[in-house]
Structure 1
Amino acid sequence: MTGKKRTKRVFRFAVSLLLAIVFCLVSLPVGAQEDLKPQILVDQALITLNNFVAAADMEWFTKHLKDAKGVFIVPQLLKAGFIFGGSGGRGVVLLRDEKTGRWGEPAFYSIGSVSFGLQIGGESSEVVMQIRTQGGVESLYGSSFKLGGDTSIALGPVGAGAAGKGVTADLVSFSRAQGAFAGLALDGSVIKVNDDFNKDYYGKEVRPTDILVKKDVSNPGAARLREGLYKAAGGK
């Protein structure tokens, strides 16, 4: 094995290890994530949705909710670093029924990423991704997928009157940090099914397709979030 190949293998192993650590940290009850339960996450997702819908800068976001295939709402994406950096958070995915305009039950996912280079400090952001294509929807059916790989992602247009012409990505992301709406690069992040939260919320082991496609399970605790999305997308 040449030195170059060995270096590449070590680098890939380091990235995989750091990403695993990020997902482990997301699962730990620390800091603002303390005692975070599935229902609390659903309730927080509604607060995040309302924050976005009420903002004048989110005109494009609100206007295009009615033709989005789904949303991935992450109420708190934590980012921290010192030389090596990472970000992680938990969120919920809901899909919109194109015939009725109604939104389905939430499926729980985690998101994480690692980065390299000089970076010191931390930040917390609210993130909402609109799922714009069928390919974006189908990427959710597996156990995990990487943004920017087979599933494309773009920063959403921000600002009153933002046109957003030519947005063709599978997912379009919007973020809010310290009260300000801005772009947050998520390329390279991995989205992974949160099986523990799904099982806890629905009382049995379920796959993403059981929730999002077959609609085999339900929880009345998601009613306010589902109704909030329906009204935000123009439902009466």
Structure 2
Amino acid sequence: MRKIIWLILLNFGLLYGGNEMLLDSANAYNLVNRTNKINQSIITNSSAIIIFPTFVKAGFILGATIGRGVMLVRDDIPQEYIDDNISAHQNSIWSAVPVRLGGATIGLQAGYENNFIVMYVMNKAVIKDIYDNKLTLSASASVSFMDYGVNSEAISDMGLSDIYAYTNNRGFFVGAELGGSVITVDDKIKFDTASYGYEQLMQAISVIR
């Protein structure tokens, strides 16, 4: 059963080629930001943005979660915008890194669920851990999983979490179920920064609502 689950999830993830994934990530980012009230300071102060345009959870008793997406790492902020957070964000230079997320679950569960996830990384040490393939959610990074529609202007732990995560669906399974999931660089995917998908993704993240 476990092998069947992993094969289904792996084949689903591999359907996403690099350029198509960039375009899907742009669409996922736009949708998540339209359906959530995200504090501007989370967006503009993030060191990286991780977008999973597909995150699948499936299983029966033994389950698995897997996602493939892109991590946008903020490489540089033009000096002339350094005192204007929104302009600095909109004019930042980004690197696009393919990433994957995976984990296993056990317990009373059955079915299949597919969601978008957007994560704002506030701590640069988290980025290094992802590059080093040793980032485990909830273990090596504190994560605030924000509920659909939550007004994050009022969240009390602003600045205390390494990652703020948002999804497109109300009732998204609790963050605890992602505890132990690992985010790593995905060497099987290549991105073309001259592609239409990359252009659309850069346009999507530059919009501050």
**TM range, normalised to the smaller chain?**
0.7 to 0.9
Tell me the distance in 1 between the aligned counterparts of 2:120 and 2:174.
14
- TM-score, length-scaled by structure 1: 0.70
Counterpart position of 2:19: 39
* Match runs of 1:169-180 below 5 Å: 169-177=161-169, 180=170
* Match runs of 1:10-25 below 5 Å: 22=6, 25=8
Aligned match for 1:60, one of 38, 43, 48? 38
- TM-score, length-scaled by structure 2: 0.79
Gaps of 5+ in 2: 79-88
Gaps of 5+ in 1: 1-17, 203-217
Aligned match for 1:85, one of 56, 63, 81? 63
**Matched-pair identity in %:** 20
Q: How big is each residue's C-alpha offset from its partner over 1:102-149, in whole Å with a ceiling of 9 and x where there is no partner?
A: 241311011111111121111111111110112222222213421112
Aligned match for 2:98, one of 90, 108, 129? 108
Higher RCO, 1 vs 2 (CA within 8 Å, ≥6 residues apart): 2
User: Are the counterparts in 2 of residues 90 and 108 from structure 1 also a CA contact under 8 Å?
Assistant: yes
Aligned-residue CA RMSD in angstroms? 2.6
Counterpart position of 2:155: 164
Tell me the distance in 2 between the aligned counterparts of 1:161 and 1:108.
28
User: Are the counterparts in 1 of residues 131 and 184 from structure 2 also a CA contact under 8 Å?
Assistant: no
Displacement of 1:187 in angstroms is 1.4
User: Are the counterparts in 2 of residues 61 and 156 from structure 1 also a CA contact under 8 Å?
Assistant: no
Q: Secondary structure at the match of 1:143?
A: coil
Tell me the distance in 2 between the aligned counterparts of 1:47 and 1:174.
14
User: Are the counterparts in 2 of residues 71 and 131 from structure 1 also a CA contact under 8 Å?
Assistant: yes
Q: How big is each residue's C-alpha offset from its partner over 1:12-42, in whole Å with a ceiling of 9 and x where there is no partner?
A: xxxxxx69x74x65442x4xx5732111111
Counterpart position of 2:48: 70
Q: How big is each residue's C-alpha offset from its partner over 1:168-193, in whole Å with a ceiling of 9 and x where there is no partner?
A: 1211111123xx37564121101121
After TM superposition, where is structure 1 displaced by more than 6 Å over at least 4 residues in a row? none
Tell me the distance in 1 between the aligned counterparts of 2:184 and 2:112.
22
Counterpart position of 1:143: 133
Tell me which amino acid in the other structure corresponds to 1:166: D
- Shift in CA distance, 183/26, structure 1 to aligned 2, threshold 3 Å: closer
Tell me the distance in 1 between the aligned counterparts of 2:30 and 2:102.
24
User: Are the counterparts in 1 of residues 75 and 95 from structure 2 also a CA contact under 8 Å?
Assistant: no
Displacement of 1:97 in angstroms is 4.5
Kindly indicate which of the two structures has a greater share of residues assigned to strand. 2
Tell me which amino acid in the other structure corresponds to 1:190: V
Q: From the CA coordinates, give the structure whose radius of gyration is larger.
A: 1
Number of equivalences:
190
User: Are the counterparts in 1 of residues 29 and 51 from structure 2 also a CA contact under 8 Å?
Assistant: yes
- Shift in CA distance, 91/51, structure 1 to aligned 2, threshold 3 Å: same
User: Are the counterparts in 1 of residues 39 and 152 from structure 2 also a CA contact under 8 Å?
Assistant: no
